[in-house]
Amino acid sequence: MEEQQKPLREELSEIKELLAEGSGKEKKPKPFRLPFSSRISKGNLKKGYVTVAVINDNMAVDFVKEPIIDGTIKLDNTFHAVEDFDIFNYKGKPFIFQPKSKLNPYNPLNGKHETYGQKYVMARMEGDKIVTKKKLGWGIGIVGLAVVAIIIYAIFTGGGG
């Protein structure tokens, strides 16, 4: 015997139910996690270690942990000077952004205000704003302006008759 197929309507309703169940589960973005080799333990924290985000010349970023000795850190074969205001905190642990080719760490809080991306930011804000309903103010204003224009035209042309 052949198995009887379900009617098309029942199959469609089952598909809709499955889609409705699946749409409720939205993926949450994964939080950023430091590589295990660059995490600092409490013991290393007491010894003066910091996590360093090394920004290489090829724009690749590596994470390493290095001790601060006499206000400097050593990355491979280069030494870099570190000041107190260049050390940030990530989850309670010290963190430094160090370009490999620079002597001092990168501090995004220092420097001039940058406005070269202002037009892109303004365009995004303009696109994301919530548009409210237009009120009758514009329509009434245009009609009023047209009536005033007709009256002025009638006065200058001698009354139209």
Nearest to 68 by CA among 59, 80, 57: 80
Quick: pLDDT tens for 118-135.
777 788 888 777 766 666
103, two tokens? 């002597």
Quick: pLDDT tens for 61-71.
999 999 998 88
Indicate the domain borders of the chain: 36-99
- Mean pLDDT for back-to-back runs of 10 residues, the chain (161 residues): 71 82 72 85 90 92 92 89 90 91 87 73 79 67 86 80 53
7: Cβ contacts below 8 Å, ≥ 6 apart: none
Long-range residue pairs from 102-106, CB within 8 A, at least 24 positions apart, any chain: 104/80, 105/80, 106/55
